[in-house]
Amino acid sequence: MLAKKRFGQNFLHDRHMIDKIVRNISPQKSDIIVEIGPGRGAISFPLLASGCQLEAVEIDSDLIPHLIETCPAPDRFHLYNADALTFDFSTLGATFRLVGNLPYNISTPLLFHLMEFTSHISDIHVMLQREVVDRIVATPNNKTYGRLSVMLQYYCDVERLFLIPPGVFDPVPKVDSALLRLTPKKDRPLNTKEEKRLEDIVKLAFGQRRKTLRNNLKSIIEKSDFIDMNKRAENLSVNDFVLLTKEIEK
């Protein structure tokens, strides 16, 4: 089973690293866990050893027979041959935990897709390119702070757990990875309509990073009673963007 470049596959194989990741996930017998991209089962089968129910979404149909044949607990393992970017995760249960080794080439759009299902998700543990994780956990007044930082920090509490070196994957990637924990916030300050507006504002605000908010947002707001429009998007906290959204909606 060779890795396929079009799917961005890098299979985890290092037993020490697998055990460390599973310990941090801390699966319980009562859990329903959804895994994106089980691959060869490196994380899947240790998760199943906890007694949990595992629902796995795998786009590569060539991997399905191997996963079925080698699964140690077929009665608790359900496979979906589907694209996670378009998959309706709400069909997998009212509440579940989510894990995955996300392909580098689709990690950002996939994370945004997952935010649509935060009402169903207890927590998320994903392996991502280190650069992407650094952007997600970045704070204001930092060059790595951007649209991804604001939106994921609005929906979730974010935490970078530890780095994952290239050598634990096959094939070996050219960059470091990291394990990220996202814990969806149960009480968010904006309603559904306002959250859509927030997404639009943040996208516009970071559209041209070197320009001020006054320039980037002139199509929707000229002045603000709460935010200095001479600042750049990278100077605003997540709460600042929430305040700006509420002001625009009013």
Break the chain into its structural domains and give their ranges. Answer: 5-184, 192-249
Beta bridge partners of 154: none
Could you identify the residue written with the tokens 């604001």?
Answer: 150
Under a CB-based contact definition with an 8 Å cutoff, are residues 90 and 112 in contact? no
Write out the CATH class of domain 192-249.
mainly alpha
Write out the CATH class of domain 5-184.
alpha beta
**Does residue 27 have a cis bond before it (omega within 30 degrees)?**
no
Question: Token pair for residue 4?
Answer: 């396929």
Q: Looking at the predicted structure, is the pLDDT value of residue 199 above 70? A: yes
Look at residue 250 in the predicted model and tell me its pLDDT: 80
pLDDT, averaged across the chain: 93
Tell me what percent of the residues of the chain surpass a pLDDT of 90: 87
3: confidence class by pLDDT, cuts 50, 70, 90: very low
**Does residue 171 have a cis bond before it (omega within 30 degrees)?**
yes
Look at residue 7 in the predicted model and tell me its pLDDT: 45
Question: Token pair for residue 101?
Answer: 């080794």
SS3 175: coil
Q: Give the pLDDT confidence of 132-149 residue by residue, as tens digits.
A: 999 999 999 999 999 999
Look at residue 114 in the predicted model and tell me its pLDDT: 97
φ/ψ of 66, rounded to 5, equals -65, -45
Q: Is the pTM of this model over 0.85?
A: yes
Q: Give the pLDDT confidence of 161-182 residue by residue, as tens digits.
A: 999 999 999 888 889 999 999 9
Q: Looking at the predicted structure, is the pLDDT value of residue 6 above 80? A: no
Q: Looking at the predicted structure, is the pLDDT value of residue 54 above 70? A: yes
φ/ψ of 72, rounded to 5, equals -80, -10
Q: Looking at the predicted structure, is the pLDDT value of residue 11 above 90? A: no
Q: Looking at the predicted structure, is the pLDDT value of residue 222 above 90? A: no
d(CA 44, CA 22): 9
104: confidence class by pLDDT, cuts 50, 70, 90: confident
9: confidence class by pLDDT, cuts 50, 70, 90: low
